[in-house]
Chains A and B, each alone.
Chain A
Amino acid sequence: MQGRPRRWTRRLHRLLGLASCVFLLLIAVTGLALNHADRLGLSQRSAAAPFVLALYGVDAPPVDVAFEAGGSTYALAGGFLVVDDRIVAESRELLGAIAVGRDVLALTDEELLLFAPGGALVERASLSLPAAARRLGTDGDVAVIDAGALLFEIDTAAMNARPAAESGAPDWSIAATLSDGQVRQIGTAVLGRTYNGSRVLNDLHSGRLFPGLGPLIADLAALCLVYLAASGLYLALRRNR
């Protein structure tokens, strides 16, 4: 009579052990990776693959404004300044981007950014102007900032601005209209920052990557592990008795 509960416990232990081994492996591997996320640089790696984004059910953020200069696209989307398909800086507002010689200057509400041909960031500098900058342009070979009643000349070597002595009629940078492909490319770059390796692995570990059933399956797997631990202990103790 005493053998029957033990037999059932053993059978259920074996069955649940087999059923939960996939989840156990998943939890163990993702847990290991998360424990070393910093060393693996998971936060810096984009995991914004189309199927991952489909699982989250998210759409790419719209492009707020974009400028084309020096053969590259400078766009503001989702709070980031994106050059072609690379996030360069966090930004709330992009006021313009213009070619100055072979380089490109971009102006946000907080910073002036200098880019080399091809869009590589040379330097970024915060500007403290007496009035809020409104737009960026060129006056001949000189880059200028319109700050309402005041006009400033930019020195790209020193990365600062000084009041312009005299001005002709600057050419102000004009927002560009992007193709669907460009908008998609920029959106994927922005989503890659939010949906990085660390976030996606974390959500896979907890089951939140699969909305609805995911957390439930993770809970069931956890309960299975609790049962396996308890039944394993029980069976070991019974055997030793």
Chain B
Amino acid sequence: MRQFIAALLFVAAAHAAGDAHAEAGEYLSRDAFLEATLETADPASDVVWLDEVLQERATEILGHAPGMLRARYWYSSGRTAWVFDEIGKERPITMGVVIEDGTIRDFRVLTFRESRGWEIRYAFFTRQFDGLGLDGDGELDATIDNISGATLSVRAARRVANLALVLDDVARRTNTKIASTR
């Protein structure tokens, strides 16, 4: 009887561990994300160079140096799409942000690699970003609700959304073609 209970517990633990692991992974490729959100398979792309001022602003938002000298974006139909990797606790989470008229139109988690916090991939969380823009201080103009047990992933998502909005503002000022794709 005791052995049976031990076996049962082992199977249950293994099942739970397997489930948790299965939640991490690539949910959407970059190309599929761009096609779904920009409604074209071959969107134009350009880059925003992170000069000293933007490096400082990005460091302020992310809490660490951005680790790149230029950020690529894709654009179509008056929207820009950005894909960033940001570490939640220990491993990078790949997230995509689509912006139109200075507000977020779509936020997606493309790849999640950490062992905890994958709940941020679900629509109940990501739709909180819809319609968000920047306030006067250059930060998100609304709060994002936390998810218990996924605090670091939630914070990473907030940082990426904020950075994308800041860079979108720069991109629109330097690339007039974005507006003309509308």
Chain A residues close to B by CB (< 8 Å): 38, 41, 43-44, 88, 90, 116, 120-126, 128, 158-159, 193, 196
Contacts and interface: CB of A to CB of B under 8 A. Distances in A.
Nearest to B69: A122
Given A38-B152, A123-B47, A126-B30, A159 B63 contact: no
Given A121-B69, A123-B47, A123-B68, A43 B30 contact: no
Contacts of B151: 38
Interface of B: 29-31, 45, 47, 63-64, 67-72, 87, 89-92, 113, 151-152, 155
Nearest to B66: A121
Contacts of B64: 41, 44
A121 B68 contact: yes
Name, among B63, B67, B71, B87, the residue most crowded by chain A CB atoms within 10 Å (CB to CB). B67
Given A43-B87, A122-B70, A196-B90, 13 more contacts: A43-B89, A44-B64, A44-B87, A88-B67, A90-B92, A90-B113, A121-B67, A123-B70, A123-B71, A124-B68, A128-B31, A158-B45, A159-B72
Given A38-B152, A38-B155, A43-B90, A116 B72 contact: no
Contacts of A44: 64, 87
A120 B152 contact: no
A43 B64 CA distance: 12
Contact of A120 (B69, B90, B113, B155): B69
Contact of A125 (B29, B72, B90, B155): B72
Name, among B29, B31, B69, the residue most crowded by chain A CB atoms within 10 Å (CB to CB). B69
A152 to B, nearest CB: 17
Contact of A123 (B69, B87, B152): B69
Nearest to A86: B67
